[in-house]
Amino acid sequence: MPFKRPLRSYTCDDGSLSPSDRPSSSRRIRSSSPRNIEEEKPLLIYILPAKIRPEAMSELVMLVEDYKIERVTMGHQGRGVISELNLQLTGDAEKANIVVTAIHMRQRLERHIDSRIAKTKAIVTPSWLRDSLTSGQPLPYWNYAAVHDLEDETLRHCPDAGQDTSSSSSLRSHSQEKENSWRTEPDEPIEVTEVELLSHKARYSCLRPSPLVCPNQSLVEEINIIRRSRHLEGEERSMLSYSRAISVIKAYPRIITQRDLHDLHELPFLGEKLYSMIQEFVKTGRIAEAQTILADSRFQSLSAFDTIYGIGPHTARRLYDLGLRTLEELEQYYEVIPGASNEETISLLEESTNTEAAVEKTIKIGLALRHDLSHTIPRPEVEEINRTVMQELSHIQKGCKSVIAGGYRRGKPQSNDVDIVITHADWELGSQKVKGLCKKLVQRLHEQGLVTHVMHISGFHEHNALRTHHWDSLEKALTVFAWPHNSSWPRVYRRVDLIFAAPEVFWTAVVGWTGSTMFERDLRLWAKQQKGMKFDSSGISRRHDSKLYYPRTERDVFKVLGLVHVHPTMRNADA
């Protein structure tokens, strides 16, 4: 299918748009200090058509063109505001600063662009273009590198980080002027001064800085084996002790050596037993108990069963007690054909129940799709799933916004599933506008063939027993998502969770779904023990008078709870 307009006519190098057509946009307002916009050089974008559907290609071109027209119009209206984003399409990859592509394999890319040239460009996904146009600034590339093998080269071409910060703070002051606006933007860069306010000695993990990978990661992995064993055996208290120990070690700022051992006494939750395990690890690089567990056949079976969606420790033990030992035996027991889940989708119209039949159905889907579901999801695909879901949602309700939460938001390069928290951008009316959307969206995604299974769907549930105000604010669907056969992404089944929140509780929902689990647990504990408040994904309230809080930003969530803002990438308080 041809583009709506031929790509070449938009190239800057053949001069189809005059330089005076370039300035200003209203979307993102920069400082009021005048700049010579005539002299500004645009970023040249080459969109590689291979693997992009013609409609999507056409949409991308139109997005850039519409943006440019809007920018020009604002400039001519003399508003004196200058957009960060000055893009120009080019038909010549060699001249481009940025190559936008749906290709993810280096070899495949090099069929279209010479490797020598590719190395000198930023190679990004179409999401970068869309998200940059939405935010009105050239976003940093780190979440958008299209080709893993060329990530380093791509990041080297990243836009100036300083510019980013200034533009986001000026956006903030701009949006504060507008009564009805609030932040639904992506994460700001991490602020070193904020991290310094946290302490690795704090009792609550929401006061400690917990990076994705810590200096003592191999020790953490070793203790995590013991933790998992306790979890599988249903020994919850013991499991929690190990979880706490892990979360403390995650925040410890340097590699633990013999010399550091006495320091550990200053840390919370490291009792005698843990202390001697750490000592053993420092000496030998191993913890004997963990190694014994790993070699244990019961642990191996229960671990394998526990990887199946729908099977928790309790079910795993029950299956083991029936004499089952391997996943193949489980497949026979449940009469499942691997890879071919024709298991009918759980009714879209009815709320999920926890009946035995419903649980069994979920296990059957989880087992049949286990090979696909065991593959982790790279960041560019997570972003594309979000974008696709939001595009489908826009056909049902305009003006919705989303944040990808979960491990993705904490910086994980690969996720086990995708957690998308959705709201409506209208602070006043959004609550009504998102009501009932979850079911409609899932139905639409199912009709489009994008959602193949629904594991669970539920309507509004309440923040607490106090039936004050419209607190019925979260709807969620736990689904299985798959790309269409003609997509540039492989057809691998992916788990996607869709969570709908009213604007008043959007940021509490995002915080609640960003994790990690121990961070969440300590947020709730902190709120209860130190602040006399109740925190969960569906809201924050004060216990003594049930006062409800409606934070407009994520920072507000932390502020209301009396906490320093912890950047999402510092909330990795689990192994």
CB of 474 to Mn ion, least distance (A): 16
Give me the sign of the Cα torsion angle 153, 159, 160, 164: negative
> Dihedral (C-alpha) 3, 8, 9, 12: value to the nearest 10 degrees?
130
Q: Which amino acid is at 362?
A: T
DSSP β-bridge partners for residue 123: 99
* CB distance 289 to 226 below 8 Å: yes
3-class SS at 70?
helix
Question: Applying CB under 6 A, does 513 fall inside the site for ligand 8GT?
Answer: yes
Question: Applying CB under 6 A, does 366 fall inside the site for ligand 8GT?
Answer: no
* CB distance 312 to 306 below 8 Å: yes
CB of 237 to ligand 8GT, least distance (A): 19
- Total residues contacting ligand 8GT (rule CB under 6 A)? 14
Q: Which residue is nearest to ligand 8GT (CB)?
A: 515
3-class SS at 32?
coil
Question: Applying CB under 6 A, does 517 fall inside the site for ligand 8GT?
Answer: yes
Structure tokens at 93: 């990859």
Structure tokens at 344: 């009918």
DSSP β-bridge partners for residue 189: none
Pick from 132, 229, 415, 479 the residue near ligand 8GT by CB under 6 A: 415
Question: Applying CB under 6 A, does 520 fall inside the site for ligand 8GT?
Answer: yes
Pick from 411, 515, 539, 568 the residue near ligand 8GT by CB under 6 A: 515
Residue 95 main-chain phi, psi, to 5 deg: -80, -15
Q: Which is nearer to Mn ion, 164 or 417 (CB)?
A: 417
Q: Which is nearer to ligand 8GT, 23 or 406 (CB)?
A: 406
Q: Which amino acid is at 371?
A: H
Residues 78-117 that bind ligand 8GT (CB under 6 A): none
Give residues in contact with Mn ion (CB under 5 A).
406-407, 417, 419
Instruction: Build a one-symbol-per-residue string for 259-298: x at contacts with ligand 8GT by CB under 6 A, - elsewhere.
Output: ----------------------------------------
- What is d(CA 4, CA 24) in angstroms, rounded to the nearest whole number? 25
CB of 575 to ligand 8GT, least distance (A): 11
Q: Which of 424, 438, 422 is nearest to 510 (CA)?
A: 422
Binding part of the chain for ligand 8GT, among 217-225, 317-325, 359-367, 405-413 by CB under 6 A, reads 405-413
Binding part of the chain for ligand 8GT, among 70-78, 191-199, 366-374, 404-412 by CB under 6 A, reads 404-412
Other C-beta atoms closer than 10 Å to the C-beta of 182 total: 23
* CB distance 281 to 257 below 8 Å: no
Pick from 126, 313, 406, 568 the residue near ligand 8GT by CB under 6 A: 406
DSSP β-bridge partners for residue 222: none
Pick from 164, 419, 426, 556 the residue near ligand 8GT by CB under 6 A: 419
CB of 306 to ligand 8GT, least distance (A): 13
3-class SS at 252?
coil
Partner touching 513 among Mn ion, ligand 8GT, none, CB below 5 to 8 Å by kind = ligand 8GT
Q: Which is nearer to ligand 8GT, 209 or 407 (CB)?
A: 407
Question: Applying CB under 6 A, does 537 fall inside the site for ligand 8GT?
Answer: yes
Pick from 75, 380, 407, 503 the residue near ligand 8GT by CB under 6 A: 407
Q: What is the DSSP string of 456-521?
A: EEEEEEESSS---SS-EEEEEEEEEE---TTSSS----EEEEEEEE-HHHHHHHHHHHH--HHHHH
Partner touching 512 among ligand 8GT, Mn ion, none, CB below 5 to 8 Å by kind = ligand 8GT
Structure tokens at 302: 């229960």
- What is d(CA 507, CA 536) in angstroms, rounded to the nearest whole number? 11
E strand or H helix at 454: strand 451-462
- What is d(CA 394, CA 300) in angstroms, rounded to the nearest whole number? 45
Question: Applying CB under 6 A, does 170 fall inside the site for ligand 8GT?
Answer: no
Q: Which of 350, 373, 355 is nearest to 452 (CA)?
A: 373
Q: Which is nearer to Mn ion, 23 or 407 (CB)?
A: 407
CB of 412 to ligand 8GT, least distance (A): 6
Q: Which is nearer to ligand 8GT, 84 or 383 (CB)?
A: 383
Q: Which is nearer to ligand 8GT, 219 or 509 (CB)?
A: 509
3-class SS at 419?
strand
CB of 518 to ligand 8GT, least distance (A): 9
Partner touching 541 among Mn ion, ligand 8GT, none, CB below 5 to 8 Å by kind = none
Q: Which is nearer to ligand 8GT, 74 or 496 (CB)?
A: 496
Question: Applying CB under 6 A, does 372 fall inside the site for ligand 8GT?
Answer: no
Partner touching 537 among ligand 8GT, Mn ion, none, CB below 5 to 8 Å by kind = ligand 8GT
Pick from 516, 526, 527, 557 the residue near ligand 8GT by CB under 6 A: 516
Q: Which is nearer to Mn ion, 185 or 417 (CB)?
A: 417
In sequence order, what E strands does 122-185 have? 122-124
Q: Which of 531, 497, 514, 525 is nearest to 571 (CA)?
A: 514
Contact set with ligand 8GT (CB under 6 A): 406-407, 412, 415-417, 419, 512-513, 515-517, 520, 537
